[in-house]
Amino acid sequence: PKKQIIVVTPTYNRALQAFYLNRLGQVLRLVPPPILWMVVEMNVASMETAEILRKTGVMYRHIVCTKNSTNVKDRGVHQRNAALEHIEHHKLDGIVYFADDDNIYSLELFKGLREISRFGTWPVAMLAQSKNKAILEGPVCNGSQVIGWHTNEKSKRLRRFHVDMSGFAFNSTILWDPKKWRRPTSAPIQQLDTVKEGFQETTFIEQLVEDESQMEGTPAGCSRIMNWHLHLEARNLVYPRGWLLQKNLDVV
């Protein structure tokens, strides 16, 4: 049987939310099943999100994270943890991928996820916020072997793994079958809310693998860009004076 893909998407209400969720949903709709879209909201499951999920035709779970969080820097951390807990608790079997709602994904990426056995990673293209240029973050590979990293100036040597949140995926059994993967402890694997900005990914990945030898660069050679992390937000766009954007532009 084909391996299941488990896509975890934290989301929150803002002007472009409906646009983002529709766009991502339409890509996921094109991925051959089995694929499960876990969409996680904070505090309540909104009607608007529920409606979009119903319409996409993708198998989904609409999850609510109730952890109290006042830290604006958390940006989806608790929501991803809620999904991880759900996967662990229900022993869901598949390849877990964190797909934020606002990134752009190619179909090829999702097809490649099924080839991953333990932990797969690939380079992601992004805009460097301060420098007005596109940069890569992710592995440099020899075949599927990871031999180095594209880094950026911000955190050059300090980070163990230079991977974007949308630049890796892993086997869900690492979460609930520690013996199979000879994990040193069976403590739950979680994203931490206490790490410095830019270290969220590496701190998480360090719980999944010991080093590069346990990683699979995908597709072999790691020379393809399959998704883009552009940091575009409604608040930074330029609108004619006096225009007002609603909280959610899902107009029916």
Contact positions vs ligand UDP (CB under 6 A): 9-12, 75-76, 79, 100-102, 231
Q: Is 201 a catalytic residue?
A: yes
Report the residue number, 101 or 137, with the smaller CB distance to ligand UDP: 101
Report the residue number, 181 or 228, with the smaller CB distance to ligand UDP: 228
Q: Least separation, in Å, of the C-beta of 184 and ligand UDP? A: 30
Q: Give residues with Cβ within 8 angstroms of 11, minimum separation 6.
A: 17, 20, 21, 39, 40, 41, 49, 79, 101
Q: Least separation, in Å, of the C-beta of 220 and ligand UDP? A: 28
Report the residue number, 21 or 141, with the smaller CB distance to ligand UDP: 21
Contact by Cβ (8 Å): 129, 231: yes
Report the residue number, 98 or 170, with the smaller CB distance to ligand UDP: 98
Alpha-carbon gap, residue 165 to 39, rounded angstroms: 16
What distances in angstroms separate CA 79 from CA 12, 40, 66, 127, 211, one per listed residue? 10, 6, 9, 25, 27
In this structure, which amino acid lies at residue 162? H
Alpha-carbon gap, residue 180 to 196, rounded angstroms: 31
Q: Least separation, in Å, of the C-beta of 215 and ligand UDP? A: 22
Alpha-carbon gap, residue 235 to 142, rounded angstroms: 41
The residue from 48, 137, 153, 201 that is catalytic is 201
Q: Least separation, in Å, of the C-beta of 80 and ligand UDP? A: 8
Alpha-carbon gap, residue 145 to 115, rounded angstroms: 14
Q: Any idea which residues carry the catalytic annotation?
A: 201
